[in-house]
């Protein structure tokens, strides 16, 4: 039996974006028992080893997987899109969003049993999911305890793996290219004829059937279609009878992607967010000592400039300059550096240009591929005159 304290969670709503008064714009993160998490960690490792040894997990899954990340998801998916565009095809991408907290417990358990997990483990997880209680905590105020009837707790150790296993068969019977990260799914296929459009719509219908069977729901309001290619027919698509909205730019796993597969908008957004944080540091921190400014820059500013950057690494000079300008500003904040050139400041502070850091990141990613720690087949060299990466 699972101790009752392990089944209780304080839910902290974390604001994502949009209107703050809308509950759907918050991510509920569950704070659970620390001791319970330690046991979950052991159980997760056991299940994960079983899944890997038996080749159970689909290859298009990137979320919560060893040696995979948002970056591997983005590179692998958009490499396929880029290849199709380079060959002269028009391409449609469908962005789908699901609700993480709607996984039915009974169906979750049936999925676990279907992959051959021992009955002891399945029974423990069943007990862990049953009779769960949660309350919301906002500004130190607690709501009343309420029963949790569905979903895997966000913030738990086991939750992400269980969710991955639940949606593992999501792409079965789908002819389009499918890529999944957590509860976000992307489809793409060439659309050079009405038959291609029909095939993509049939794949959407197949996903709707899957969702109905497993009592999941797609957030249709967040599902979008992006049309790429100069000869694209701009065909309409529906999901569960509801027309999908069209988009010329989407934020995919935190990275802005437009219908030209350009990176300038992402560069501008990354620089803007980094500059905003840097301005807060400049206004809010009195000290200009290297031991204060440099760690703050490394931990709070630079990550915005390098998140998944091997996917969207800038190629235009103006974009390269825009990103580098942030680090130029940051190094000038350090006491005694104001009159030095940028190169001199970098040398004294032990920093490299962001361009060199991106090159180093490219080499590390290539090394992982060569050593077999990465499934990204797109790093195999192909002779091409395309400017897309």
- The token pair at 249 is 């730019």
What's the rounded Cα separation, in Å, for the pair 38 and 31? 13
Q: Parallel, antiparallel, or unpaired for β 177-181 and 26-31?
A: unpaired
Tell me, rounded to whole angstroms, the distance of Cα 269 from its chain centroid. 17
Write the CB contacts of 207 (distance below 8 Å, at least 6 apart in sequence).
96, 170, 174, 185, 218, 239
The DSSP 8-state label assigned to residue 351 in this structure reads: -
What's the rounded Cα separation, in Å, for the pair 113 and 313? 43
Q: Interior CA angle at 97 toward 92 and 101, to 5°?
A: 165
The DSSP 8-state label assigned to residue 248 in this structure reads: S
How many CB atoms sit inside 10 A of residue 371's CB? 8
CB-side neighbour CA atoms (13 Å) of 211: 21
Q: Is the four-CA dihedral 217, 118, 128, 55 of positive or negative sign?
A: negative
Q: What is the pLDDT along the chain (389 residues), one digit of tens a residue?
A: 889 899 999 999 999 888 888 887 888 888 989 999 999 999 999 999 998 889 888 877 777 777 788 998 999 899 999 999 999 999 999 998 765 557 888 999 999 999 999 999 999 999 999 889 999 999 889 999 999 888 877 778 888 899 889 988 888 889 999 888 888 889 999 999 999 999 999 999 999 999 888 888 888 888 999 999 999 999 999 998 899 999 999 999 999 999 999 999 999 999 999 999 999 999 999 999 999 999 999 999 999 999 999 999 999 999 999 999 999 999 999 999 989 999 999 999 999 999 999 999 999 988 887 876 555 554 444 444 444 44
What's the rounded Cα separation, in Å, for the pair 298 and 345? 15
């Amino acid at each position: 039996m699972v101790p009752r304290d392990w089944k209780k969670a304080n839910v902290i709503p974390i604001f994502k974006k949009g209107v703050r008064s809308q509950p759907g714009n918050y991510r509920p993160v569950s704070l659970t028992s620390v001791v319970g998490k330690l046991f979950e960690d052991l159980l997760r490792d056991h299940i994960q080893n079983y899944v890997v040894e038996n080749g159970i997990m689909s290859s298009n899954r990137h979320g919560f997987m060893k040696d995979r990340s948002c970056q591997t998801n983005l590179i692998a998916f958009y490499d396929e899109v880029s290849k199709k565009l380079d060959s002269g095809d028009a391409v449609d991408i469908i962005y789908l969003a699901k609700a993480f907290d709607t996984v039915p417990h009974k169906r979750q358990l049936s999925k676990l049993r279907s992959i051959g997990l021992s009955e002891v483990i399945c029974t423990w997880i069943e007990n862990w999911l049953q009779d769960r209680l949660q309350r919301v905590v906002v500004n130190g105020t607690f709501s009343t305890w309420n029963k949790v009837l569905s979903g895997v707790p966000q913030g738990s150790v086991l939750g992400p793996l269980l969710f991955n296993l639940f949606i593992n068969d999501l792409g079965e019977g789908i002819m389009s290219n499918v890529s999944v990260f957590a509860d976000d799914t992307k489809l793409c296929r060439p659309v050079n004829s009405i038959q291609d459009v029909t095939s993509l719509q049939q794949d959407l219908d197949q996903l709707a059937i899957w969702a109905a069977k497993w009592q999941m729901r797609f957030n249709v309001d967040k599902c979008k279609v992006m049309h790429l290619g100069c000869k694209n027919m701009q065909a309409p698509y529906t999901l569960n009878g509801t027309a999908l909205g069209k988009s010329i730019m989407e934020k995919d796993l935190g990275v802005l992607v437009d219908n030209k597969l350009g990176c300038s908008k992402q560069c501008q957004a990354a620089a803007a967010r980094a500059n905003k944080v840097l301005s807060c540091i400049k206004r809010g921190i009195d000290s200009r000592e290297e031991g204060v400014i440099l760690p703050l820059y490394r931990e709070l500013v630079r990550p915005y400039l390098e998140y998944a950057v091997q996917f969207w690494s800038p190629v235009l000079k103006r974009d390269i300059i825009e990103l580098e300008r942030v680090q130029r500003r940051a190094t000038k904040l350090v006491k005694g550096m104001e009159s030095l050139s940028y190169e001199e400041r970098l040398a004294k502070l032990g920093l490299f240009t962001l361009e060199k850091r991106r090159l180093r990141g490219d080499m590390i990613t290539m090394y992982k591929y060569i050593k077999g720690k990465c499934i990204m087949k797109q790093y195999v060299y192909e002779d091409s005159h395309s400017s897309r990466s």
